[in-house]
Structure 1
Amino acid sequence: MGKYLPAFKAYDVRGKVPSEINPELAYQIGRAYADAVEAKTVCVGHDIRLSGPAIGEALSRGLNEGGVDVIDLGMVGTEMVYFATAFYGYDGGVMITASHNPPEYNGLKMVRAESRPISGDTGLDDIEKRAFEQKWERTGQGTVTKKDVYADFVTHLLNIVKPEELKPLKVLLDPGNGAAGVALNDLLPHLPLQVTKRHFEPDGNFPNGVPNPILEESRAGTVAALKSSSHDFGVAWDGDYDRCFFFDQHGNFIEGYYIVGLLAQAILTADPNHTIVYDPRLTWNTLDIVQRLGGRAEICKSGHAFIKEKMRAVDATYGGEMSAHHYFKSHWYCDSGMIPFLLVARLVSATGRSLGDLVGEMIRNYPCSGEVNSEVADVKTVIARIEAEYGPKGEVSHIDGLSVEYPTWRFNLRGSNTEPVIRLNVESRGDEALMHEKTAELLAKIRA
């Protein structure tokens, strides 16, 4: 991870422009990708960031000189690169995005055929080494063809959720000046929804701040707009819209954990014969819903590469992470920010219950702390100390960090991949006071 080039991370390439990421590096990555993946056709897209087109051009030049034909998708969302790669049968795809990072950042997310992820242990380290050494194996003269995939992408979405399954719900949608507005403008004419649009204009200057609705300040405008008007629910997206975030009719932000349960419910209500993959940070609500509706649940370490692999292995229909990444078999096991929006609209339409009512029950049954971060001197030492104290009386699991479960409450503790930070999640069975008490108790010991 970043052994040779600092912009290379565990799952993607990401850094500041131009000090860590620039057209020169993008060219080298193009040559390295051509050699490592041995691709003949690769699609390339970029989000709204102002540095995107120049990076895309240099990347395409590198791919071309490695003998690869490039299909230029222009400005799209990450899930559209996943869609195009798999749907048209290309040998790979590259999305130029830094997702929710500040404006001075950019990055590259890479996939191979069938939109299978390229991360540290599946080829990204190899691409990094080749880009650093610049000893190219393949030479050729590939072409660049522009392709507009929006119409096919919209058809793909409408095959997953049919317009006739939706009622004329009133929804407030906020792409935050990211790329989602472009896709929504193509999608919405096919849907019976009554839509209030906020910040639909894509703008890489981020006039209303970087779209990252997981941050309170980033979603404040969406919340205020929902509180001052009448809607069934609201949705906001990050810049490359591979993550979406939900708000109930009163403007309350809904934790990603409960959205995993909600999407499991949306899928299993339509047909119980499905497998759902979930991560170990918070689990009880998801398990309760899957068991109650007759589905199958499979646990998996968090992180997109792990979840996609697990979903393929167990033939899962949906995989969800509390970090607002949602993966679908119908989308080649990739994450999507558009499919959750449609599934929630379908569930609200089918049940006749408000979103606040649907998740309110989950929140009462399984109150959770949300993810609480603590900076520590040594992650491993702290986790070992907590396990020594809490493990003997509970049920212990190490699927992802440390999980300890008791009859009435449980917690998960895991270290960050990139910084000396520990992330804590606590939940209880219907006892909010106990959840708060145990969260405070654990934080005091972690930070001691």
Structure 2
Amino acid sequence: MSFRVEQVLTPEGIRGPVEGGLQCGMVISIARAFGDLISPEGDREFLIGRDARSSSASLAEAVSIGLRSGGHHVTHIGLCATPMLRWYAAEQGFDGAVMITGGRLPPTYNGLKLYTHHARALSVGHGLEEVLARVEPPFHSGHACTPELHYSSPLADYAAVIRSHCRTHTPIKVAIDAGNGIGGLDTRMVFSHLHTVRIWELGFEPDPAFPKRSPDPQTPGALDALSDCVVTNGCHFGIAFDGDADALMLVDETGRSISPDRFGGLLALILLEQQPAGTVIHGPAVSPTVVAAIRAAGGRPLEVRDGSAATIQAAMREARALFGISDQGNYFYGDLYATDNALRSLIELINGLADRSQPLSALLDALSLVAA
């Protein structure tokens, strides 16, 4: 294997084309290096999950081989959204976790998201370079490969936790576009027991080809079908997940798309009603109007140097923050181990709308009035 860091290291993490880039041999070496970073002596517990891309199953096996060759123990949870993996890793106290997902990238790409204890994300500037610096081809194993493979299915428990945050019984209609990514699985489980919420499903069946739209919901045209569904069926709003369902985009009842920072600002106001004076971490792309609205509502906005998941998560833990707003449509919750969770954002928006007589468009337009 001819390993070159520049092949896979991006500002978002480990990403690359599967052909000629992120191949199994390379992934075995990266996983081994990650395990060695956590504990060179082995004997630690790791969690692995994956999305539905064609290459993800084989890459998950490569991660397993790399970790087990270092003497570590591996639990697979199979197909899952990234937020579910992070929740389960933190909830069960795993020493590390790996999510195999291309996220918003095209189907021919894939990637690895690495997490340490308490689901802390590794990224550029937050430990990822240390992992890749340990990769030295050719790959050699100093441990016998641990024979045990464990399997777990936390979907029902995870869905119950997300569902528990719903505080309303007011009937509401929502269009949800999973984009043929992984988000339809846990979304369907959550809403199967919330009978006052009627949902219109778009692209809920995982398909590695992403035939309906780009896995990046911010791509021009990606929200067209969702907007049409909202208007045609008289929904209160619609949301679209990205490929691994940790980020989402919003359209209001008129089919108008809403910028991520305005959506984040509205979520912050909803949460501040329940927990006044909470700290809200945000990236530099959040507009001054949204920051002013958070402050006017009694919150304590705190800007960090960039809107990456690792930076926001670290700042939230240090400040014991209530909420975090990234620059890319990811929203973080202090009571979910400071991780981002698109389904929780959907639930909080349902809570906020149920408490008000105004449509979503009016609430969003009022953000600037709150700041005034």
The 5 Å alignment of 1:210-229 reads 210-229=214-233
Partner of 2:29: 28
Whole-angstrom CA distance in 1 between matches of 2:170 and 2:288: 31
- Structure 2 residue aligned with 1:179: 182
Give the Cα separation in 2 of the matches to 1:250 and 1:89. 44
Helix, strand or coil at the partner of 1:157: helix
CA gap of 1:158–1:265, structure 2 versus 1, over 3 A, is same
- Structure 2 residue matching 1:276: 3-state secondary structure: strand
**Where do 5+ consecutive residues of structure 1 fail to align?**
367-428, 430-448
Secondary structure (helix, strand or coil) at the match of 1:351 reads coil
Partner of 1:290: 294
1:146 shift after superposition? 1.2
Tell me the equivalent position of 1:386: none
* 2:365 is aligned with 1:360: yes
Write the distance in 2 (CA, Å) between the matches of 1:156 and 1:138: 40
> Map of 1:22-421 to 2, 5 A cutoff?
22-38=23-39, 40-134=44-138, 138-142=142-146, 143-159=148-164, 161-162=165-166, 164-191=167-194, 192-302=196-306, 303-362=308-367
Q: 1:53 to 1:66 in 2, by over 3 A?
A: same
Structure-2 separation of matches of 1:125 and 1:63: 18
Task: Give distance in 2, aligned partners of 1:102 and 1:290.
Answer: 35
SS of the residue aligned with 2:11?
Answer: coil
Answer yes or no: is the 8 Å Cα contact 1:48–1:239 preserved in 2: no
> 1:197-240 CA deviation, whole Å, 9 max, x = no partner?
11111111212132221112211111122232211111110110
RMSD, matched Cα: 1.9
Output the CA distance in 2 between the equivalents of 1:134 and 1:262: 51
1:379 is matched with none
SS at match of 1:218: coil
CA distance in 2, matches of 1:48, 1:58: 16
Deviations 1:124-170 (A, max 9, x none): 112212224456575133221111110121122133x13x4242101
CA contact (8 A) 1:264 1:286 kept: no
Tell me the SS of whatever aligns to 2:366.
Answer: helix
Q: Tell which has more relative contact order, 1 or 2 (C-alpha 8 A, sep 6+).
A: 2
Partners of 1:245 and 1:10 in 2: CA distance? 21
- Classify the secondary structure of the residue corresponding to 1:190: coil
Q: Per-residue deviation at 1:291?
A: 2.3
Shift of 1:259: 0.8
> Secondary structure at 2:135's aligned position in 1?
helix
Q: Secondary structure at the match of 1:121?
A: coil
Give the Cα–Cα distance (whole angstroms) in 1 for the partners of residues 298 and 128 of structure 2: 39
Cα displacement string for residues 101-145 of structure 1 (whole angstroms, at most 9, x for unaligned residues)? 111000000000101122233331122122244565751332211
Is residue 296–residue 370 contact of structure 2 (8 Å, CA) maintained in 1?
A: no
CA distance in 1 between counterparts of 2:127 and 2:78 reads 25
If you compute each CA radius of gyration, which structure gives the higher value, 1 or 2? 1
TM-score normalised to the size of structure 1?
A: 0.77
Instruction: Tell whether the 8 Å contact from 2:293 to 2:368 is kept in structure 1 after alignment.
Output: no
Could you tell me which residue of structure 2 aligns to residue 419 of structure 1?
none
8 Å Cα contact 1:11/1:118 also seen in 2: no
Deviations 1:10-51 (A, max 9, x none): 342100012110111111112111111116111011111110
Q: Determine helix, strand or coil for the equivalent of 2:175.
A: strand
Distance 1:66 1:108 in 2: 18
Paired residue type of 1:318: F
What is the one-letter code of the residue matched to 1:275?
Answer: T
Code of the aligned partner of 1:23: C
Quote the offset at 1:81 in angstroms. 1.5
